[in-house]
Chain A
Amino acid sequence: MDIQKISVIGGIGKDGIPEKVTRFDLKMGDIVSIVGPTGCGKTTLINDIELFANKNTPSERKILINDEPIPDDFSFDPSKHPIALISQHTNFLSDLPVGEFLEIHAKIRGAENIEQMINETLNFANQLTGEAIIKETAMTELSGGQTRSLLIADAVIIGNSPIILLDEIENAGIHRTKALKLLKKYQKIFVFVTHDPRIALLSDFRIIMKNGAMQKMITTNEEEKWAALGLKKIDDVMLEFRKFIRAGEEITDNVFNEQISGLASSYQLYLKKRKLFLNKKTA
């Protein structure tokens, strides 16, 4: 199946009241976030997408592919399933070495150049994680961050799934912004369930959930894109602090002040750049 677009048609919330967002479309290349407090139905929404719900789940939502519903008895060939879901609970159970495991998956997917595909997958994963994954490591020996990175890389490259759903990956110890940058290169649909303001602001749009219902949809505008850039500075400072803590150093007044004043001056620089950009735009 050649997927161009998937659409989510709103159903009802937990209270049975119709959802305010009645429809949203996802086109290839889109990055979308689903946000809202814990228990508001974010995971249910991506489960509906994964199942191609057709008014047959509690939310009564309908998922369309290229404007058509998926027939009830439609069953995907395992090697062609268009959706990969990586959740907070998803894990590798196999104790095979990484290389062998990826080879099995690539074979089932009918890949031609298996060796090259495995290397590309590892290369991708290793850009997301701090510690490099080597082919000979057993899957079960991978750290949390390595596992998450490999799950994503495998879904993107070997699985080549056109639609990838990522449920709260920010807690997994991977480079989030690097992940987003890398993912943008592949023409796919990425849906993030997230509490992370940067992931939300780097998305093309976001769906706000409340009480099981899609409440609102916000398209990321120019102003918010600038805000995302500004937030990066704060993130960078947090990362610096993390480095200090990890290295066993004390956060003295000096260290703290140095970082925060660094943040203040980079904020001034950021404001200047932004002004310059806006001036250019109006000119």
Chain B
Amino acid sequence: MKLIIFAGPPTCGKTTVIRQVIRRIIKKNLKPAYLKIDVLFADEDEQLKREFGIPTKKIYSGELCPDHCNVVVLDEVVEWAEQQGAEYLFVETAGLCLRCSPYIENSLGIVVLEATSGMNLPRKIGPMLTLADISVITKIDLVSQAEREVFRYRILEAAKGITVVESNALYGIGIDPIVRDILKSNDIEQPMFLKGNPPVGTCTICVGKKEIGAKNHFGVLRTMENDLFYVGE
């Protein structure tokens, strides 16, 4: 089975891209499965199940960061998809803080970014972009030629060697090259490893501390002017 992970900011068009990809995968008589990881609400799994009649699943990360959730559940999800007889497992994550990246070594990682988020976006996101194999730019019809060029240029500047695909996914434009790379991608290798390291530190906020200020927290910290330091055992 092949594993393809889609990451990208909320509402950037991930599901629309995936829908177009799945349509083409089914046309080729191949069997996809779909997992959606989101924080609080998602119904994309039900939509895709209705539309294509394929096995789908959703997991709410709740108190966990969605990328963290992805790491801890993915082995079970892979097992589930294999039991369903899937040949391609598409995972869609919310990827909220943009400091982690959900991609798995030797599997295909695809980041979806919308052209409408401004020319500086490729400079603002880290590993979610730099560790991806393909960057899909959506909503290209809404921005000027000049901004599209700058956006594309800055993606290549941040992630050298990445494949950039410009797409207007609503109309299925620019999807074929993505499908081509998906078909060429590797089968899952066990054990699976994350492609990149998560940011250094244990997040006290993630575990429920709400007080503002470094003095109220432990683990890897910093103040406004100073570099990182560590407080704790």
Contact = CB atoms under 8 A, between A and B. Distances in A.
B144 interface: yes
A47 interface: yes
A86 B171 CA distance: 17
A94 B145 contact: no
B145 A159 contact: yes
A215 B180 CA distance: 33
Contact of B145 (A72, A102, A151): A151
Contacts of B172: 57-58
Contacts of B163: 75
A246 interface: no
B143 A73 contact: no
A159 B173 contact: no
Interface string B163-175: 1100010011110
A104 B148 CA distance: 12
Interface residues of B, number: 26
A84 B156 CA distance: 20
Given A72-B180, A78-B156, A89 B150 contact: no
Given A51-B173, A72-B180, A90 B141 contact: yes
A244 interface: no
A39 to B, nearest CB: 14
B87 interface: no
A92 interface: yes
A203 B94 CA distance: 48
A108 B146 CA distance: 9
Interface residues of A, number: 33
Contacts of B143: 90-93
Contacts of B174: 51
A92 B142 CA distance: 9
B52 interface: no
B119 interface: yes
Contacts of B119: 93-94, 104
A199 interface: no
Contacts of B82: none
A85 B174 CA distance: 15
A142 to B, nearest CB: 11
For the residues of B in contact with A, the DSSP-based class is helix
Nearest to B139: A89
B191 to A, nearest CB: 32
B15 interface: no
Contacts of B177: 72-73
Contacts of B149: 78-79, 81, 105, 108-109, 159
A104 B118 CA distance: 14
Most B CB contacts (10 A, CB to CB) among A72, A91, A92, A105 go to A105
Contacts of A90: 141-145
A151 B148 CA distance: 12
Contacts of A241: none
Contacts of A109: 149
Interface in B108-146: 116, 118-119, 141-146
Nearest to A96: B119
B200 to A, nearest CB: 34
Given A57-B173, A58-B172, A85 B153 contact: no
B173 A105 contact: no
The 5 closest A-B pairs by CB, nearest first: A78-B152, A105-B146, A84-B145, A78-B149, A78-B153
Interface of A: 47, 51, 56-58, 72-73, 75, 78-79, 81, 84-87, 89-94, 101-102, 104-105, 108-109, 151, 154-155, 158-159, 161
Given A86-B144, A93-B116, 18 more contacts: A47-B173, A57-B172, A72-B177, A72-B180, A75-B163, A75-B164, A78-B149, A78-B153, A78-B156, A79-B149, A89-B142, A91-B143, A94-B118, A105-B146, A105-B149, A154-B145, A155-B145, A159-B149
